[in-house]
Amino acid sequence: MAYAYVGSANNYDTSGATNLAASYSPTVGNTLIVAAVTEATTGISDGHNTYNAVGSTNAFGSSYVTVVEANVTTGGSLSIASSATTLGIYVVEYSGLATSALISGSFESAAQGSPGAGANVLATTTEPDVTSVPAMLWEFIVDVQSANGGTNPAPTVGTTTAFTSRTVGWVGGSSNQSAVAGDTRITSSGSYHATGGVNSSSQYDNFFIVAAAFVEGSASGPSNQSLPLTGVALAPLAWVIRRRQIRARERNAQLRHWKRDESSGLILPDYKKVA
């Protein structure tokens, strides 16, 4: 089944806060992806589910972006926290992904300062390699200055590969968003652009862009081959073959009691032989 966006939650503090947490209630069996912008390496936990590293990157002194994912085994109300001094945490839930969804080696990132302005001026250093399909390609972009309270407009998702934009919810100065996330469905294996756009007012800021791919789960359901036969006695194969041989001999014996009528060309009973 195709993946689907379910919902998201966030929390942020432009001054940085330790153990900053986002409250969210996911559904068991779905996938959570968590991105955190911090001032040091961090761990992500909700006290119940197991979070696996997707990837992380560090630049601009003490700025970090960490991404983790979890297959939800415990749902309900959760407090998903980042242990380090954190500027923002973003939690997003998807359905339809595999239990072990992350495609190994697909995480890519880049840190770009003063990238200029334009639709796709931000890009991961290497294009994410999607080796299993169908899959979801996911990206996350943050303006570091805005995450620290700057007033410039938020980045936008890429258009080289068409991403569906997802609001992160971190608000910098002047009520501007400081980050954005996006996802797109991939049906052919290969390497894909993960890019982002920058407003002219933000072109001299510092940005992180990260991306990774997550394979969809297999559709489940009974097939004709797996349906059980109940109350039906199946004859042994040797008996079936023997029965067919007997019928063939009977048919041949019957045909020996027929003859062709020379005048009409019809096949008629040979009553002499039958008698």
Residue 236: pLDDT band (50, 70, 90) is low
What is residue 224's predicted lDDT score, i.e. its pLDDT?
41
Residue 230: pLDDT band (50, 70, 90) is very low
Q: Which is more confident, 104 or 223?
A: 104
SS3 33: strand
CA distances from 27 to 31, 67, 79, 144, 158 (A): 9, 20, 14, 32, 29
Of the listed ranges 80-89, 210-219, 266-275, the one predicted with least confidence: 266-275
Residue 232: pLDDT band (50, 70, 90) is very low
Token pair 């983790």 is found at 68
Helix or strand holding residue 213 (H, E): strand 206-216
Token pair 């601009």 is found at 60
In sequence order, what are the residues at sequence separation of 6 or more whose Cβ sits closer than 8 angstroms to the Cβ of residue 234? none
Largest distance between two CA atoms of the chain: 113
> Measured between alpha carbons, how far is 67 from 48 in angstroms, rounded to an integer?
18
H-helix segments, the chain: 144-147, 237-255, 271-274
Six token digits for residue 24? 């969210």
Residue 200: pLDDT band (50, 70, 90) is very high
What is residue 245's predicted lDDT score, i.e. its pLDDT?
72
Average pLDDT over residues 154-178: 94
